[in-house]
Amino acid sequence: MIVLGIETSCDETAAAVVDGGRKILSNVVASQDDVHGPYGGIVPELASRRHIEVIVPVVRRALDTAGVALRDLDGLAVTQGPGLVGSLLVGCSVAKSMAYAARKPLVGVNHLEGHIYAAFLEEHPPDYPFVALVVSGGHTALYVAHERGRYECIGQTRDDAAGEAFDKVAKLLGLGYPGGPIIERVGATGDPRAIRFPVANMSDGAPDFSFSGIKTAVSLHVRRAGPLGTAQVADIAASFQATVVKMLVRKTVKAAQRLGIRRLLLTGGVAANSPLRAALQAECEERGYTLHVPSRRLCTDNAAMIAAAGHDRLESGERAPLTMNARPDLVLA
């Protein structure tokens, strides 16, 4: 089955063509960093406007690169939620119009399931069951994937998403947007043990995350420290990153241990972070667990992962009616 995936849930306009749910024929991602950079964060109205401007050329390029015409497609998959409503609407409207015009089956895909399916685009996809840590700009959650399409949420953030914390701390340090890659780059020259930031632990022992405390701690530290030199900024970035990594790795490994599941998946935009990938890999090796981490370009938002998730849904006979609509609060489990 050849599936066209469309993704516009946040600030990336993306389209991809995937064959058999596994083979990427094209994967086009138009970033909006230039639009939101000056604001240090995503401006939803500007995001939807940019999606409208670029969605048609992006889809066209995905089809051209794959060497397929609309009539060659076996189906379309589009991100239905969660995300920004105005942004989601653009992708959903385009996908519905194309499906209607070309008389092709359509499915709506949960963006978080898409992130999980990024692992199935790699050479060695995970067997079920596995524990998935999905860390992005909008979400930070732990799922058990019991079988194809059956997920259980076993923990999530109680406040900010990890990526959001990276973005806010980068803004605080005057480093620009998006914060994750910049913090990683700047932090590489700093000392991760320079500053002790607090590690959040849930008083009820739940495998949930919290990143608002560390964000406040960084903000207080910056205010107290006064004007910062390059080396100090690097130390703050490195120490912040190390603490976030510690929180993510600890909770994930603990959850897997408790469940007796020895296969883990790390995915979502923040999974592009090298120290996080390395730390979780080291913990997994120590315990004899298998860790699956998609390549960086598949961890951050893309439409190939949406096409892959959509492929399995189309294959199982699922169809979205033309009344299908964007669902900003869609949950996975």
Q: Is 138 in the site for ligand KG4 (CB under 6 A)?
A: yes
> Which residues are CB-contacts of 140 (< 8 A; sequence separation ≥ 6)?
134, 156, 157, 161, 162, 163, 209, 211, 248, 268, 270
Partnered with residue 133 across adjacent β-strands are: 142, 266
Q: Distance between CA 86 and CA 263 in Å, rounded?
A: 36
Convert residues 57-76 into a mask of x (bound to ligand KG4 by CB under 6 A) and - (unbound). --------------------
Sole window of 84-92, 176-184, 286-294, 306-314 interacting with ligand KG4 (rule: CB under 6 A): 176-184
How far from each other are the two terminal CA atoms of the chain, in whole angstroms?
Answer: 27
Q: Which residue's CB atom is positioned nearest to Zn ion? A: 136
Sole window of 142-150, 175-183, 203-211, 258-266 interacting with ligand KG4 (rule: CB under 6 A): 175-183
Which SS3 state, helix, strand or coil, does residue 107 take? strand
Backbone angles phi, psi at 132, to 5 degrees: -115, 125
State which residue, 5 or 138, has the beta carbon closest to ligand KG4: 138
Strands, sheet with 130-135, edge to edge from the N-terminal-most edge strand: 150-156, 140-147, 130-135, 263-267, 290-292
State which residue, 129 or 176, has the beta carbon closest to ligand KG4: 176
Q: Is 80 in the site for Zn ion (CB under 5 A)?
A: no
Sole window of 162-170, 200-208, 284-292, 295-303 interacting with Zn ion (rule: CB under 5 A): 295-303
Name the residue with tokens 């006979």. Answer: 317
Cβ-contact 90, 43 below 8 angstroms: no
Sole window of 97-105, 160-168, 226-234, 321-329 interacting with ligand KG4 (rule: CB under 6 A): 160-168
Sole window of 161-169, 231-239, 255-263, 308-316 interacting with ligand KG4 (rule: CB under 6 A): 161-169
Residues between 87 and 126 with contacts to Zn ion, criterion CB under 5 A: none
State which residue, 232 or 273, has the beta carbon closest to ligand KG4: 273
Cβ-contact 42, 10 below 8 angstroms: yes
Of 21, 40, 114, 179, the residue at the interface with ligand KG4 (CB under 6 A) is 179
Torsion of CA 247, 305, 171, 233, to 10 degrees: 60
Q: Is 270 in the site for ligand KG4 (CB under 6 A)?
A: yes
CA angle 310, 119, 158 (to 5 degrees): 90
Smallest separation, CB 273 to ligand KG4 (Å): 3
> Which stretches of the chain bind Zn ion, using CB under 5 A?
136, 301
Q: Site residues (CB under 6 A) for ligand KG4?
A: 10, 136-138, 163, 166-167, 178-181, 184, 268-270, 272-273, 300-301
